[in-house]
């Protein structure tokens, strides 16, 4: 899981700085939920460029 997060972070950093062309807008969303069954962590990372949007939930 940590390896996947590192690869996604590196990819977001490279695309955000414009190495492969025009910069894209990265986004990060994190959440914490508490219920009767316990505590749940969640999150998502995404890339936005023009009308195209890509989001991966973790």
Least confident interval from 3-7, 13-17, 37-41, 54-58: 13-17
The enclosing H or E element of 10 equals: helix 2-16
**Domain segments of the chain: what residues?**
2-57
* Residues contacting residue 55 through CB under 8 Å, at least 6 positions apart: 27, 44, 45, 46, 47
pLDDT confidence band for 34 (50 / 70 / 90): very high
Is the model's pLDDT at 40 over the cut of 80?
A: yes
pLDDT one-digit tens code per residue, 6-29: 787 777 776 666 555 666 777 888
- Determine the straight-line distance between the first and last CA of the chain, rounded to whole angstroms: 9
Least confident interval from 6-10, 13-17, 44-48, 53-57: 13-17
Q: Identify any residues that bridge with 41 across adjacent strands, giving them in sequence order.
A: 32
């Amino acid at each position: 899981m940590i390896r996947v997060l590192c690869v996604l972070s590196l990819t977001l950093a490279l695309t955000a700085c414009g190495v492969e062309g025009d910069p894209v807008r990265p986004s990060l969303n994190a959440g914490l939920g508490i219920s009767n069954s316990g505590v749940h962590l969640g999150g998502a990372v995404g890339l936005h460029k023009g009308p195209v949007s890509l989001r991966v939930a973790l």
